[in-house]
């Protein structure tokens, strides 16, 4: 180890690392060499034994072919065919000989057995020829004797020998593989052991060097340092002869000892100077401890501005080069400041005011040095000197971080507001997209209920309507929560009757309670006066509470109460409560209530359903009406949910507004009108046709724009009163077809009504510019369609409300299938018809998916847009939500001119969603396409 003592610590560490690396390289080279030899042997084994085994199997197949040819001779009727078979047999035996020749060098240890097989093969060939010759001479009995007594035994013997040869080859392959595997394992074990030993060696050597060359010497020097601190200068300092870092420390300690001795000698002489230095250092420490840089600026009577003092931190604000000049007096104009003329004039006014009036200076500006830009705040006081100059004593503070934090807070506030708005928009959009197919479902159900039905069928349809209305109630909860969360919901102040609220609740939920065997009781509120408030929102709270009571009760009585209370500081309040004998709530569960999307526990959602929004909405509505909500509950015994809202007392003669909406009916004048329906989608035509037939309208149907133009221009005897035209169709679209029709003077004034899934103002503008009279959005609103036809065809000038554009598709992971549309269809048609229609739908999904996958490679935007538009309608009416969403996404992207890679990816997504939709349909309805 004396050799190592000549090197410094870094060299010793490098030595240890190099040693470890060298051992690792040696071990690695050994491992690579061993594994390479094993790999070479494996390759040779695979090339020899595996190939031999395959050739033996092929040779056995040749023997089987030969046997088949010999046996086939017995069934031949012509001698020529027999001779041809004999020639084929010669070819087969020649192939067998070739394979034996190829096998021979691969199984050199089985040459005797191969020789025996060749002899048997020649005998077999002669016996086969004898069979064929006997058969050719019509000696079938002789041929059979040769086959049974000679040919079959020889063939069996050859096969046995071949099987033995193959078994020997396989056994040799397995034994050699085992040996190579053992060699590999031994190599890995040796490598691991070598690495372990090398690591132990290096760790041991490192520990020894650390102990003898570092730890012990440093401890000795530490003890010497402690003795020197006690002024024991007689102690020896060891290790000064070493050339490494420890030796340097020992030499430094010698210098330190000499300096201490010299300091002791000068201490008495420096007492006065030390006191002066203490005071100076105290001032310097105070300035350095301050958060900014301290300065003293002298302003001479001639206007020259020069710094008299700058603390050490000033270099951060004025740059290192400028700070170096401050010892001789740095001029203020050496600092570069990026400011506008207005900023400069304002700055000069502040400094001038401070100099003239000797008032404090407080200003902030953006400063630029050689290396940085930052915001600098200046706080200073002014005083005059005896020679007429002015001294500004002050401090500089870097306020960049504070400004950045303020900006970050402002940005975070804006982002939070945007996020809240985006969340509200998302919830509203999602609810609207769910509402669209629900309108179609309820519309179909109401159409069916207008026709005579069996009692069981009517009950089913009424349950369907109630289920749809329940789902719409959930959607309304989501919309209300969105409005509340975005602070867009307002409350009314109108007169209402408290008793009417209870009566409406009884009418709405009485049947539902009776269906569950529950008794719904209402304590009369007729004694209460008419009130002023928002009856719709109060009624909504009552419905939420009562619905929950029915949902979570299996038996017993549900009681509703309303009463007036006088609350200190709040005035007159309407207090209401709903008490049930249901499952009740624990204290922990009660703490979770009235929060969005929360129920007592997750099992409640699975068992009873619901969104968990009802109570949160009730609380928000109550707070909007300056009230509060709460609950009293005992687990297993029931709950009592209450609310309190501020109301006013209505004047006795104030009339109450009672709305009694009458369902709109079709104009009788529509009966007998003839309309041409143009739509390439069968489902869309079915919906429109049913709506028109209910109004007595006669309907002719075509599938594209070309057929529509032909039907209207060539069949002049068909007098159509109007045309319902889909906008996007394959071939000739609705806009182009309308332009062609408007060029015909006979059809110039024919009412043409656009129907499209695109309902933006821009889409409506395009329809009107093409010559269409009205643009109606899909899904079709039955009553809006009737009123439009009445106005255009009968001259009815009743106002038609502007159709609302559908909300954009929400960017969420929508479920694959909404089964309600198809379940509704299943109730309307026979089982056989439904299965047939379902098969057509799955086949159409597969066809469209394959088409989009093919179109993704071609990347034709026009074709993709047309196909996507059609898919949106088909998937939407069928409840294939995820497929509809992916089609909407593609159509939206097409408007932004994406590159081919994006289009191909979106088309592949549609293909995948189409396949997923097919699988979901088959699983849900239990059929196969």
243 lies in some domain? no
Closest CA to 164 of 48, 47, 53: 53
Give the Cα separation of 799 and 787 in Å (integer): 8
User: Residue 21: which CATH number?
Assistant: 1.20.120
Give the Cα separation of 94 and 102 in Å (integer): 13
Of 231-235, 541-545, 599-603, 625-629, where does mean pLDDT reach its minimum? 599-603
* Angle, helices 831-858/861-878, rounded to nearest 10 degrees: 160
Do 587 and 554 belong to one domain? yes
User: Residue 380: which CATH number?
Assistant: 3.30.450.20
- For 628, the token pair is 């509060």
Average pLDDT over residues 440-458: 72
- In the block, residue with structure tokens 């009562």: 546
pTM confidence score: 0.35
At 814 the pLDDT is 41
Closest CA to 818 of 462, 423, 440: 440
306 lies in some domain? yes
- For 255, the token pair is 């210098």
Calculate the CA dihedral of residues 911, 917, 922, 928 and round it to 10 degrees.
-20
Q: How many CB atoms lie within 10 A of CB 802?
A: 11
* 3-state SS, residue 836: helix
User: Residue 632: which CATH number?
Assistant: 3.30.565.10
At 563 the pLDDT is 92
Q: Which helix (H) or strand (E) holds 765?
A: helix 761-770
* Angle, helices 831-858/900-925, rounded to nearest 10 degrees: 160
* Angle, helices 705-714/734-742, rounded to nearest 10 degrees: 20
Is the CB of residue 308 less than 8 Å from the CB of residue 383? no
Do 722 and 847 belong to one domain? no
Is the CB of residue 103 less than 8 Å from the CB of residue 56? yes
14 lies in some domain? yes
Is the CB of residue 28 less than 8 Å from the CB of residue 187? no
Do 754 and 853 belong to one domain? no
Closest CA to 701 of 845, 683, 863, 783: 683
Average pLDDT over residues 223-243: 77
Do 642 and 696 belong to one domain? no
575 lies in some domain? yes
Instruction: Output Rg (C-alpha) for the chain, integer angstroms.
Output: 49
273 lies in some domain? no
362 vs 14, 377, 404, 521, 660, CA distance in Å?
Answer: 59, 7, 20, 74, 70
Is 839's pLDDT higher than 80?
yes
- For 929, the token pair is 């396409």
Is the CB of residue 833 less than 8 Å from the CB of residue 473? no
Of 259-268, 314-323, 744-753, where does mean pLDDT reach its minimum? 314-323
At 38 the pLDDT is 73
Do 484 and 501 belong to one domain? no
* 3-state SS, residue 527: coil
Quote the number of domains for the chain.
6
Do 725 and 626 belong to one domain? no
Is 622's pLDDT higher than 80?
yes
Q: How many CB atoms lie within 10 A of CB 874?
A: 21
Average pLDDT over residues 584-607: 62
β-pair type (336-337, 494-496): unpaired
SS3 content of the chain, % helix, strand, coil (to 5): 65, 15, 25
Is 427's pLDDT higher than 50?
yes
Calculate the CA dihedral of residues 687, 689, 692, 696 and round it to 10 degrees.
-140
Cα of first residue to Cα of last residue in the chain, in angstroms, is 85
Query: Averaging pLDDT over each range in 250-259, 356-365, 557-566, 869-878, which range is the top one?
Result: 557-566
Do 746 and 888 belong to one domain? no
Q: Which of these three, 194, 209, 234, is where a domain ends? A: 194
Do 509 and 484 belong to one domain? no
At 803 the pLDDT is 35
Is 804's pLDDT higher than 70?
no
> What contacts 796, CB < 8 A, 6 or more positions away?
667, 669, 787, 790
519 lies in some domain? yes
Is 318's pLDDT higher than 80?
no
Is 739's pLDDT higher than 80?
yes
799 lies in some domain? no
Closest CA to 248 of 240, 259, 260: 240
Position with higher pLDDT, 399 vs 923: 399
Is the CB of residue 268 less than 8 Å from the CB of residue 261? no
Q: Which of these three, 459, 489, 519, is where a domain ends? A: 489
Do 163 and 47 belong to one domain? yes
Q: What is the mean pLDDT of the chain?
A: 77
| Residue 730: domain span | 668-794
In terms of C-beta density within 10 A (0-12 exposed, 13-18 middle, 19 or more buried), how is residue 135 classed?
buried
Is 658's pLDDT higher than 50?
no
155 vs 95, 145, 146, 862, CA distance in Å?
Answer: 16, 15, 12, 71
Give the Cα separation of 203 and 207 in Å (integer): 6
765 lies in some domain? yes
Give the Cα separation of 368 and 335 in Å (integer): 8
Is 864's pLDDT higher than 60?
yes
Q: Which of these three, 355, 370, 399, is where a domain ends? A: 399
The 10s digit of each residue's pLDDT in 48-74 is 767 777 778 887 788 888 888 888 877
At 766 the pLDDT is 86
98 vs 38, 64, 115, 129, 146, CA distance in Å?
Answer: 32, 16, 14, 20, 26
- In the block, residue with structure tokens 């709405």: 508
The DSSP 8-state label assigned to residue 366 in this structure reads E
Do 624 and 691 belong to one domain? no
Average pLDDT over residues 812-833: 65
Give the Cα separation of 217 and 239 in Å (integer): 7
The 10s digit of each residue's pLDDT in 630-647 is 999 888 889 999 999 999
The 10s digit of each residue's pLDDT in 774-785 is 888 766 777 888
Average pLDDT over residues 853-873: 81
At 639 the pLDDT is 92
Average pLDDT over residues 788-815: 52
Closest CA to 822 of 326, 395, 444: 444
Q: What is the 3-state secondary structure (H, E, C) of 289-342?
A: HCCCEEEEEEECCCCCEEEEEECHHHHHHHCHHHHHHHHHCCEHHHCEECCCHH
At 647 the pLDDT is 92
Is the CB of residue 563 less than 8 Å from the CB of residue 528? yes
Percentage of the chain exceeding pLDDT 90: 10
User: Cα–chain-centroid distance for residue 413?
Assistant: 25
Average pLDDT over residues 139-154: 82
Is 719's pLDDT higher than 80?
yes
Of 32-41, 312-321, 804-813, where does mean pLDDT reach its minimum? 804-813
Do 331 and 387 belong to one domain? yes
Closest CA to 635 of 589, 579, 577: 589
Do 345 and 455 belong to one domain? no
The 10s digit of each residue's pLDDT in 474-528 is 666 666 666 666 666 677 788 999 998 998 888 878 888 898 899 999 988 778 8
């Amino acid at each position: 180890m004396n050799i190592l003592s000549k090197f410094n610590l870094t060299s010793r560490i490098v030595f240890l690392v190099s040693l470890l690396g060298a051992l690792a390289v040696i071990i690695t080279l050994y491992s690579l060499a061993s594994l390479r030899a094993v790999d070479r042997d494996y390759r040779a084994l695979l090339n020899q034994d595996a190939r031999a085994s395959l050739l033996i199997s092929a040779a056995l197949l040749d023997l089987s072919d030969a046997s088949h040819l010999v046996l086939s001779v017995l069934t031949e009727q012509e001698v020529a065919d027999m001779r041809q078979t004999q020639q084929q047999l010669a070819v087969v035996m020649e192939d067998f000989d070739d394979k034996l020749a190829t096998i021979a060098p691969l199984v050199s240890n089985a040459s005797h057995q191969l020789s025996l097989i060749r002899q048997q093969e020649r005998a077999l060939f002669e016996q086969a020829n004898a069979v064929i010759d006997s058969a050719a001479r019509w000696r079938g009995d002789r041929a059979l004797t040769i086959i049974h007594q000679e040919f079959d035994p020889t063939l069996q013997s050859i096969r046995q020998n071949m099987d033995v040869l193959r078994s020997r080859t396989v056994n040799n392959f397995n034994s050699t593989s085992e040996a190579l595997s053992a060699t590999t394992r031994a190599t890995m074990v040796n490598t691991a052991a070598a690495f372990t030993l090398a690591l132990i060696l290096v760790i041991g050597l490192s520990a020894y060097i650390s102990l003898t060359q570092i730890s012990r010497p440093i401890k000795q020097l530490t003890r010497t340092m402690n003795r020197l601190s006690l002024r024991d200068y007689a102690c020896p300092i060891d290790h000064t002869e070493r050339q490494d870092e420890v030796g340097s420390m020992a030499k430094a300690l010698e210098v330190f000892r000499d300096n201490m001795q010299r300091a002791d000698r000068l201490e008495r002489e420096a007492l006065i100077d030390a006191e002066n230095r203490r005071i100076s250092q105290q001032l310097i420490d105070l300035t350095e401890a301050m958060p900014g840089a301290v300065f003293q600026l002298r302003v001479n009577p001639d206007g020259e501005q020069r710094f008299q003092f700058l603390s050490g931190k000033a270099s951060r604000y004025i740059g290192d080069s400028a700070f170096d000049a401050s010892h001789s007096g740095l001029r203020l104009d050496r600092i570069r400041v990026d400011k506008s003329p207005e900023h400069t004039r304002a700055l000069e006014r502040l400094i001038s005011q401070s100099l003239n009036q000797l008032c404090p200076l407080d200003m902030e500006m953006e400063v630029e040095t050689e290396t940085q830009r930052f915001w600098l705040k200046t706080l200073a006081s002014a005083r005059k000197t005896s020679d007429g100059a002015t001294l500004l004593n002050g401090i500089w503070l870097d306020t960049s971080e504070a400004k950045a934090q303020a900006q970050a807070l402002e940005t975070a506030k804006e982002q939070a507001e945007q996020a809240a708005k985006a969340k509200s928009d998302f919830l509203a959009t999602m609810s609207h997209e769910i509402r669209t197919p629900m309108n179609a479902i309820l519309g179909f159900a109401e159409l069916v209920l207008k026709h005579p039905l069996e009692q069981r069928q009517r009950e089913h349809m009424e349950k369907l309507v109630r289920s749809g209305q329940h789902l719409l109630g959930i959607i309304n909860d989501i919309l209300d929560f969105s409005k509340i969360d975005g602070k867009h919901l307002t409350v009314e102040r109108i007169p209402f009757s408290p008793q009417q609220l209870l009566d409406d609740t009884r009418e709405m939920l009485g049947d539902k309670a009776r269906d569950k065997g529950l008794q719904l009781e209402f304590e009369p509120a007729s004694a209460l006066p008419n009130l002023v408030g928002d009856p719709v929102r109060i009624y909504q709270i009552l419905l939420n509470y009562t619905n929950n009571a029915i949902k979570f009760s299996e038996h017993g009585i549900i009681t509703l109460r309303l009463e007036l209370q006088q609350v200190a500081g709040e005035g007159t309040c309407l207090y209401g409560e709903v008490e049930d004998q249901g499952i009740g709530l624990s204290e922990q569960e009660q703490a979770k209530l009235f929060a969005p999307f929360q129920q007592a526990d997750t099992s409640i959602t699975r068992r009873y359903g619901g969104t968990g929004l009802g109570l949160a909405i009730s609380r928000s509505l109550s707070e909007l009406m300056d009230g509060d909500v709460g609950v009293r509950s005992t687990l297993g015994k029931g709950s009592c949910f209450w609310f309190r809202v501020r109301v006013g007392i209505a004047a006795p003669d104030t009339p109450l507004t009672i709305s009694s909406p009458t369902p709109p009916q079709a104009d009788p004048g529509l009966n007998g009108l003839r309309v041409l329906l143009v739509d390439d989608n069968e489902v869309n035509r079915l919906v429109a046709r049913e709506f028109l037939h209910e109004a007595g309208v006669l309907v002719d149907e075509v599938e594209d724009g070309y057929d529509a133009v032909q039907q209207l221009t060539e069949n002049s005897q068909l007098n159509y009163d109007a045309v319902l035209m889909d906008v996007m169709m394959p071939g000739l679209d609705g806009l182009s077809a309308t332009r062609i029709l408007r060029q015909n003077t006979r059809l110039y004034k024919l009412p043409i009504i656009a129907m499209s899934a695109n309902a933006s103002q821009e889409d409506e503008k395009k329809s009107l510019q093409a010559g269409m009279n009205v643009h109606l959005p899909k899904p079709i609103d039955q009553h809006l369609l009737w009123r439009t036809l009445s106005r255009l065809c009968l001259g009815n000038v009743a106002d038609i409300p502007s159709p609302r554009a559908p909300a954009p598709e929400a960017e969420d992971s929508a479920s694959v299938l909404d089964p309600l549309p198809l379940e509704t269809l299943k109730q309307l048609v026979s089982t056989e018809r439904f299965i047939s229609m379902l098969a057509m739908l799955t086949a159409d999904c597969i066809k469209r998916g394959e088409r989009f996958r093919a179109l993704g490679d071609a990347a034709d935007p026009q074709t993709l847009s047309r196909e996507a538009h059609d898919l949106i309608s088909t998937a939407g009416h069928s409840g294939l939500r995820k497929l509809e969403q992916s089609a909407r996404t593609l159509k939206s992207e097409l408007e932004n001119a994406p590159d081919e890679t994006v289009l191909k990816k979106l088309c592949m997504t549609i293909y995948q969603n189409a396949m997923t939709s097919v699988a979901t349909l088959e699983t849900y309805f239990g059929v196969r396409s």
